[in-house]
Amino acid sequence: MVADLFASALHRTIEVITIVDPQDDLRLEFERFSRAVEDFAAVVGRDVKLRVVADEAPLKGFLDMCLNRFVCMATAASPFDDAHYVGSFAAALLAKTSAPVVLVGPSVPDVSPPPIERVVLGVSNDVDSSVSLELAHTVATGFGCPMAKVRIDTEHGVIYESDSRDPREWFPEEVHATMRAEPIEQDDISAVLVERSAHSVLVFSTRAHQGLTWICEGSVAFGAISLTSMPIVAVGPNAVRGDVEQPQPSLGREVTLASPHAEAAIEELDERLRVLKHADGALFTAHGAG
């Protein structure tokens, strides 16, 4: 539902991508996901595309499909538990992509979209935030809500906060004396950002730490997403201004299904597989218009 929330606000289409093991039955995996996507399309009232891809290197397959696209994805937000594999996918994408990533943590409700009251731009003095500034303005305009800016000065242990009633107003990068300021401990960055962005979409840039660097230095992005019940829009170190979505690679043995309904698409895939004997993926579009 978070994907539909952002797709509606930013006038985007929705494509659901899942990577399965080549040893799994592609037909059975497609049946499971196509039915779920068809139900989702009916709920949101829009066409939703599904791409099921078999790849023995799931992380590479995931990056091939998602790199430089506006992605909304769930993450367990922890490098230490059994969900480390999921969390590392989000970190790997943020480290390489030129587009923003909407992170949906474990506390975000599954069914009803969270009420969004404003967009909060988080700025740090040790990360380039120029791209996230433009993005926050775009998101706020799309949702039709006000913006706020929270700047954390990690060097001096001070946090500055300013509000804007007009989402079209761009904040200057300089910190003005009129902004509210208060001391803060550097270790509390993630918690403070979440506190200041209650009922808000938090937008900020991240260095997208991975592996040992993530464990040793921490990650504000994944620290915040583990604490909040709202989605977070993160911008990685390679992000660029503007809409950078690129055409995705075409799979040589991907079956494109013309049927608009899951039941018929499953039968169509059966017929195609009888002829092809093997396929590396299936592409299906569920019709959601009422």
Closest CA to 87 of 78, 99, 96: 78
All structural domains of the chain with their residue ranges: 2-67+246-286, 75-243
Given a contact cutoff of 8 angstroms between Cβ atoms, the answer to whether 274 and 41 are in contact is no
pTM: 0.81
35-44 pLDDT, tens digit per residue, is: 999 999 999 9
Q: What is the rounded average pLDDT of the residues 258-282?
A: 87
Residue type, 289: A
Query: Which is more confident, 182 or 27?
Result: 27
- C-alpha torsion angle, residues 244, 67, 211, 130 (rounded to 10): 10
Lowest mean per-residue pLDDT among 66-70, 93-97, 150-154 = 150-154
